[in-house]
Amino acid sequence: MTVVAESGKKMSASKIAGIVSAVLWILGFALAFVIPADNPLMWVPDALLLIGFFPLLFFWKPSWPWLVFGVLNVVIGFVLLVGTFIPVDTLTSEMNKAREQLTAQKSPYASVFSESSTQQMAHVHTHLVKQHSPWTWMIIGIVSTIYGIVRMIKNMIKWAAKKKTGSQ
């Protein structure tokens, strides 16, 4: 096979990976508007959006992006999980206290905790709790991290074998 044919094959593989990712992202984004927040399948849009990165990560040779992707998803999932345990009332009352304290200190940052921003924060909290399953993020993160570690070990074994045969 010639170099041109190989680069053409690689180019088509990258296009396929990009198209598959785009289709998964569009499907996930569309389903986020179709599936109601109280539906038990609300985890599907996030899963499709996250899995949409897999074709691109498969196509990219290094294994460290899998680790970074996985660890960051686990962290985001953990933050979402912590958010489920924070009641909206506690969140808004703490923001009101912060606004009062900053206003008393004549701080320019008091406006950050305005009544409207407190209400917006309550809406954001409700949205995150109802429409983003922390378990989806953590499971996909753990799977990605494990795959990245396995791929990294495999690449190191290949590299060591190549180094060993090249040095003899």
Question: What's the pLDDT at 11?
Answer: 65
Question: What's the pLDDT at 6?
Answer: 54
Question: What's the pLDDT at 168?
Answer: 53
Neighbouring residues of 52: CB distance < 8 A, sequence distance ≥ 6: 20, 21, 22, 24, 25, 28
Question: What's the pLDDT at 1?
Answer: 42
Domain chopping of the chain, boundaries: 1-60, 61-168
Question: pTM of the predicted model, to two decimals?
Answer: 0.81
3-state helix, strand, coil in the chain (%, to 5): 85, 0, 15
Question: What's the pLDDT at 153?
Answer: 95
Amino acid at position 157, single letter: I
Q: What is the pLDDT along the chain (168 residues), one digit of tens a residue?
A: 444 455 556 568 889 999 999 999 999 999 999 999 889 999 999 999 999 999 999 988 899 999 999 999 999 999 999 999 988 888 888 888 888 998 999 888 888 888 888 888 888 989 999 999 999 999 999 999 999 999 999 999 999 998 888 755
Question: What's the pLDDT at 118?
Answer: 85
Angle at 21 between CA 74 and CA 143, to 5 degrees: 30
* pLDDT tens by residue, 21-62: 999 999 999 999 999 988 999 999 999 999 999 999 998 889
Q: How far, in Å, CA of 128 to CA of 43, rounded? A: 12
Q: Shortest CA distance to 80 belongs to which of 25, 44, 43, 53?
A: 43
